[in-house]
Amino acid sequence: MTPNSSPVICIIVENEAAPADRRVWQEARAFVAAGFRVSIICPKGNGCESNAETLEGIEIYRYPSCHAHSTVGYIVEYTFALVDCNSHL
């Protein structure tokens, strides 16, 4: 990191899209206000269907939603989110 660059935070959410997830959105906005560069990786849903967008300086990347119902399902879901996150950073 260079002295002029902002620290980066990546928030990974598995259950609701941003900015619809109010708690996550408030946290992301607080990080931006503190000088961080923020990216959110989350599922699509709740009217948030675009693959990527920037709102209020927060980069949002969305993956197709899949609702896991087992341990294996959660592992697949989180693995997909992490792979998607790494492809955007």
* Residue boundaries of the structural domains of the chain: 8-88
pTM: 0.74
Instruction: Look at residue 89 in the predicted model and tell me its pLDDT.
Output: 55
Res 2 pLDDT > 80: no
Nearest-CA neighbor of 67 among 39, 40, 45? 45
Res 46 pLDDT > 60: yes
Res 75 pLDDT > 90: no
CATH top class, domain 8-88: alpha beta
Place 84 in a pLDDT band, splitting at 50, 70 and 90: low
Contact (Cβ atoms closer than 8 angstroms) between residue 62 and residue 50: yes
DSSP per-residue letters across 29-79: HHHHHTT-EEEEEEE-BTTB--SEEEETTEEEEEE------SHHHHHHHHH
Enter the tokens of residue 4: 């002029």
DSSP 8-class letter at 7: P
Q: How far apart are CA 22 and CA 25, in angstroms?
A: 5
Res 4 pLDDT > 70: no
Top pLDDT among 58 and 69 is at 58
Place 64 in a pLDDT band, splitting at 50, 70 and 90: confident
Q: How far apart are CA 33 and CA 59, in angstroms?
A: 14
